Amino acid sequence: MGRTGRALVLLVLVFLLSACGQRDLPPDEPSTGVGRAVPTEADPLPASDRFFYGMPVSEEPAYTALGESAGEDIDLTDLNAARLYARVGTMNGNPGEYAGETIRLAGLFSSEETSSGRRYYISVPDAAGCCLESFELRPLDAADYPADFPDEGAVVTVTGVFSFVQINEYLHHSFIEDARILWEESGS
């Protein structure tokens, strides 16, 4: 087989193999596009559910907020899990746009002992529950840990002033100062 024959065979193989890649892909639209799951008749999902990277996401708020809103500048308590995670991530990524704003959100409480003392956090997981976005909490009132704080992992509602410290050109630390932390007592 000469050069022309080998080139012809190679060309035929390329056409055959490229035809294997022709599939009926869903359109790249928000409701049915790439990265989205489509409900089937065998497994219909409620109309209120939306899809986030192929996962059903409820439109219900991620957490039930405690207390009443007092007209905060930014109230995140009515966001579902996907939107809450995205908004907290945006605030962490662009803290200068939100500095000084009064914020209210519900999420999970945690704390850690560090060389400079105990630090407190509110965290929100993404819709899949695999990743967290967090803010450090700087409580309004001096309190005794653990007596005056919720259990680790408890759902809390926090109100305070969003702030941040620029560490260097690329790094900053976001926190909520004058934080008021509300939670339901265990066993209630």
Per-residue pLDDT tens digits of the chain, which is 188 residues long: 677 777 777 766 666 555 555 444 444 444 443 444 444 554 444 444 444 455 556 788 889 999 999 999 999 999 988 899 999 999 999 999 999 999 999 999 999 999 999 999 999 998 778 889 999 999 988 889 999 999 999 999 999 999 999 999 888 999 999 999 999 987 65
Q: What's the pLDDT score for residue 41?
A: 54
Whether residues 41 and 65 share a domain: the answer is: no
Whether residues 22 and 7 share a domain: the answer is: yes
Whether residues 89 and 41 share a domain: the answer is: no
Residues 164, 167, 169, CA angle at the centre, nearest 5°?
110
Domain hosting 43: range is 3-55
For strands 50-52 and 55-57, give the pairing: antiparallel
Q: Is residue 9 part of a domain?
A: yes
Alpha carbons 135 and 93: distance in angstroms, whole number: 12
Q: Is residue 43 part of a domain?
A: yes
Q: How many CB atoms lie within 10 A of CB 113?
A: 9
Q: Is residue 16 part of a domain?
A: yes
Whether residues 73 and 155 share a domain: the answer is: yes
Q: How many CB atoms lie within 10 A of CB 168?
A: 6
Whether residues 31 and 14 share a domain: the answer is: yes
Whether residues 26 and 114 share a domain: the answer is: no
